[in-house]
Amino acid sequence: MSDARKIVLLINPSREYTRGLLHGIAKYAHLHGGWTFYRPLEYREPRFRQRLPAALKALHPDGIFMREPPQADEIIKMGVPTLCFPYTRETIPGIANVMTNHIAVGQMAAEHLLDRGLRRFAYCGFDDWWWSRRRKEGFSQTIRRAGFSVHVYRLPQAKSKRTWSKEIALIADWLKKLSKPVGLMASNDDRAELVIEACKSVSLNVPDEVAVVGVDNDPTICDLSSPPLSSVVLNLSKAGYEAAALLNRMMDAGATTMQKIYIQPTHVATRLSTDVLAVDDESVVTALRYIRQHANNGISVAQVIANTDVSRRVLEKRFRRTLGRTIHNEIHRARLELIIAMLTETQMSVSEIARKLGFPDVAHLSRYFHKATGLSPRQYRKRLGL
């Protein structure tokens, strides 16, 4: 249409992170209409990038989404309503920014590994990237609060040693020196993939010796990894939708803003790389396995105890000593984890999820979920932009 707003996308969709954001932007545009998207050749082809500012001025865009092109400062000076998704800097001054809550990402990864009964922990990231340092900070804070410490991999000083093939050997040597079993957070899925390959190179078993969790839930990496990689999921689509709504308001007002939108972690997509029970007590391990295998049913504490060789009093005492929670708490945690996975990773309706998990009806599931999260299942999905 002739009156459609021209929206420039200076975002490369090659990563799951940016694809998720673009999905949210597209969703907003389809629902509200009136936008036409442009991806200038000058941005896609490196040899043309020096011509990007001139190309944008000739296009006369109404709004711009940009990751962080080299000409960012020059583009901002154009005065066009612009939103940035920065990565080399925490924020780009003078415009609206969409940022990840990296501290919360690290905290969620730590809680995931602690829930598996692990008591030794490590972090492998990039010392020279601020977002990796923030994730390490959130991870380490949570682990320390639980009474444990974190071993941190240090990048080699020489950049010539930071290639994939050379770092595998360095990471493998570092991993061999760690006490096992160890729960390891990698700063993102790419880094986690490298850690898993390093483990293979020195015959360390994943997850029994090294349980690995990444970030971004990139299916190209997570599902093809061997074993498949557990990963922290971010609400990228919701953030993209909110960014589009903000840009629309900016275009309506004809003004820029310095507002910030935060991308939050939602849950950990659990796969085989963290499928471990690092607990010495066999009766507790037996109970945990039973709970995991039957969490999709309405199991009771009595059923869990019946599948062990100890009394309820003894098992409850051992649960509290090794995990810091009761059997009932563990059943509840496992079922809640399943509900969240089904809400976020499938298109199943809430009624289908209720039937799948053995709830009498949707109302029972909704009350169960609301008590734990403060939201109904539908509100939870809406909050995530699903």
pLDDT of 281: 84
Q: What are phi and psi of 101, to 5 degrees?
A: -80, 85
Domain co-membership, 111 together with 228: yes
Give dist(CA 217, CA 212) in Å, integer.
Answer: 13
Residues 148 and 227 in one domain: yes
Per-residue pLDDT of the chain (386 residues; tens, 9 = 90+): 457 899 999 998 888 999 999 999 999 999 987 899 998 876 666 666 678 888 888 889 999 999 988 788 888 889 899 999 998 888 898 899 999 999 999 999 999 999 888 999 999 999 989 999 999 999 999 999 999 999 999 998 887 877 878 899 999 999 999 999 999 999 999 999 999 999 999 999 999 999 999 999 999 999 999 999 999 999 999 999 999 999 999 999 887 788 999 999 999 999 999 988 777 788 888 998 899 888 888 889 999 999 998 899 999 999 888 888 899 998 998 899 889 889 988 889 999 999 999 999 999 999 999 999 999 999 888 877 76
385 belongs to a structural domain = no
Task: Say if residue 128 is in the same domain as residue 220.
Answer: yes
Long-range contacts, 315-322 (Cβ 8 Å, 24+)? 315/283, 315/284, 315/287, 318/281, 318/283, 318/284, 319/284, 319/287, 321/281, 322/117, 322/279, 322/280, 322/281, 322/284
Is 92 contained in some domain? yes
- State how far the alpha carbon of 218 is from the alpha carbons of 20, 105, 191, 234, in Å: 10, 15, 12, 10
| 255 and 211 within one domain | no
Residue 194 token pair: 């490298």
Tokens of 225: 């990894």
Cα 334 to Cα 342: distance, rounded to the nearest angstrom: 13
Indicate whether 357 belongs to any domain: yes
Q: Are residues 314 and 353 in the same domain?
A: yes
Long-range (24+ apart) CB contacts under 8 A made by 34-39 are: 34/1, 34/3, 34/4, 34/5, 35/4, 35/5, 35/7, 36/4, 36/5, 36/6, 36/7, 37/7, 37/8, 37/9, 38/6, 38/7, 38/8, 38/9, 39/8, 39/9, 39/10
Residue with tokens 């169960």: 368
Whether 18 and 91 share a structural domain = yes
Please say whether the dihedral angle defined by the alpha carbons of residues 283, 286, 292 and 293, taken in this order, is positive or negative: negative
Q: Write the CATH number for 350.
A: 1.10.10.60
Judge whether 33 lies within some domain: yes
Is residue 339 assigned to a domain? Answer: yes
DSSP H helical ranges for the chain: 16-32, 41-44, 52-59, 72-76, 102-115, 130-145, 164-177, 189-201, 219-222, 236-253, 282-294, 301-306, 312-323, 327-345, 350-356, 362-373, 377-384
Do 170 and 209 lie in one domain? The reply is: yes
**Same domain, residue pair 355 and 288:** yes
Q: Which residues contact 280 (CB under 8 A, 6 or more apart)?
A: 322
Cα separation, 242 vs 340, in Å, equals: 22
56 domain-assigned: yes
CB of 113 closer than 8 Å to CB of 183: yes
Q: What is the CATH number of the domain that holds 185?
A: 3.40.50.2300
Reported pTM: 0.84
Looking at the structure, do residues 120 and 216 belong to the same domain, yes or no? yes
Tell me if 64 sits within 8 A of 7, measured CB to CB: yes
Residue 59 placed within a domain:
yes
Token pair 């000076």 is at which residue?
77
Cβ partners under 8 Å of residue 184, min gap 6:
113, 121, 122, 123, 124, 195, 210, 211, 212, 213
What is the number of structural domains in the chain?
Answer: 3
Q: Are residues 223 and 168 in the same domain?
A: yes
pLDDT of residue 296: 87
Confidence (pLDDT) at 42: 66
- 309 and 190 share one domain: no
Same-domain check for residues 181 and 69: no
Write out the residue range of the structural domain in which residue 313 sits: 282-379
Instruction: Please give the pLDDT value at position 1.
Output: 45
